[in-house]
Amino acid sequence: MRVGINLPQLGRATTAALLVQAAERAEALGYDSLWVWERLLAPLTPQTPYPGSADGQLPAACSHAWDPLTVLGAVASRTSRVALGTSVLDIPYYNPVVLARALTTLDHLSSGRVRVGLGVGWSKDEFDAVGSSLGQRAARADEFLEVLRAVWTTDPVEFQGRFYQIPRSVIGLKPVQKPHPPVFLATYVPAGLERIGRRADGWNPVGLPVEAMTARMREVAKAAGRDPGRLEVIVRANVAVTSKPLGADRPIFWGTIEQVKEDVARVRKMGVAELFFDPTVGGVVSPERYLTLMESLRTLV
């Protein structure tokens, strides 16, 4: 099982120097991947409650969020081996042609190390801010993935869809990875799992993956004439390490380092391809604490 860690892109303490230091240290420690995620706003009165907190408020660190793709571009030149992933970019916030070019550029800057995690979003405040709509997210997502693939794998490129159109054009810059960087989707609904089986390279759940969902994803892939064994499950572990043990009702990956180790073993036993830690979601983490956690967490996998 591969192991990764989320870069400390959130919070007032984040600096360019810290991001580079964290990336270089992660590579030196033998991490397989570095990850970033999308956060545009920390609304004071959320229209859509944040599902990860009791009061519906986003973690305080989300009020200072660095752009994910810019961060990956910066650390690409300071690393040579670790994969660079997004978990996740929200499809409704992007134009697929523009995003395809940005990811292709990043794939070249990193010599083919990009992994693309995508989601459909959930925050109405962020949808309002970018001029998008919560409606038709599924239909747009299907077409969005088709456009990405078209831009990445065909030339000249032409696409005529319900939401997106590309006139017959030359888009000659193609990704280093062939046929394109791997695409993982974050979803827990049946339609999303079927979308993975038809169009993506794997599933990116948060916390404990559900075996029945993994099986459904692979069934759809087989029915679509794809090799189900090539689809990967990459687990995002939102981790909070405590000094004292938590009770039996603790969230997965929360507790002492020994309790988190038990959770890691549980996920490994399920046969997932990769697990990556995010020690910043559970609360504000100082740079010193982040770097210490990076070293402690690496020993668990």
Instruction: Say yes or no to pLDDT of 281 above 80.
Output: no
% the chain with pLDDT above 70: 99
**pLDDT of 282:** 64
Domain annotation covers residue 248: no
Burial of 291 (0-12, 13-18, 19+ CB in 10 A): middle
Structural domains counted in the chain:
1
Distance between CA atoms of residues 212 and 210, nearest Å: 6
Domain annotation covers residue 257: no
123-139 burial by CB neighbour count: b if 16+ within 10 A, else e?
bebbbeeeebeeeebee
Domain that holds residue 70: 2-233
| pLDDT-based confidence at residue 283 (cuts at 50, 70, 90) | low
- DSSP H helices, 77-165, are 96-109, 124-130, 137-153
Domain annotation covers residue 298: no
Domain annotation covers residue 250: no
Q: Which of 40-54, 76-90, 255-269 has the lowest mean pLDDT?
A: 40-54
**pLDDT of 208:** 86
- DSSP H helices, the chain, are 16-29, 68-76, 96-109, 124-130, 137-153, 190-199, 211-223, 257-269, 287-298
Domain annotation covers residue 95: yes
Distance between CA atoms of residues 23 and 17, nearest Å: 10
Distance between CA atoms of residues 243 and 251, nearest Å: 15
Domain annotation covers residue 178: yes
| pLDDT-based confidence at residue 261 (cuts at 50, 70, 90) | very high
**pLDDT of 143:** 97
Q: Which of 53 and 271 is assigned the larger pLDDT? A: 271
Instruction: Say yes or no to pLDDT of 51 above 90.
Output: no
What pLDDT digit, counting tens, does each position of 56-77 carry?
Answer: 898 888 899 999 999 999 999 9
| pLDDT-based confidence at residue 247 (cuts at 50, 70, 90) | very high
| pLDDT-based confidence at residue 210 (cuts at 50, 70, 90) | confident
- Identity of the residue numbered 127: F
Domain annotation covers residue 193: yes
Instruction: Say yes or no to pLDDT of 95 above 80.
Output: yes
Instruction: Say yes or no to pLDDT of 53 above 90.
Output: no
Q: Which of 212 and 21 is assigned the larger pLDDT? A: 21
Q: Which of 12-16, 68-72, 103-107 has the lowest mean pLDDT?
A: 12-16
Q: What is the mean pLDDT of residues 285-299?
A: 92
**pLDDT of 179:** 96
CATH code at position 129: 3.20.20.30
What pLDDT digit, counting tens, does each position of 138-177 carry?
Answer: 999 999 999 999 999 999 999 999 999 999 999 999 999 9
pTM above 0.85, yes or no: yes
Domain annotation covers residue 80: yes
Task: Say if residues 1 and 268 touch (Cβ distance below 8 Å).
Answer: yes
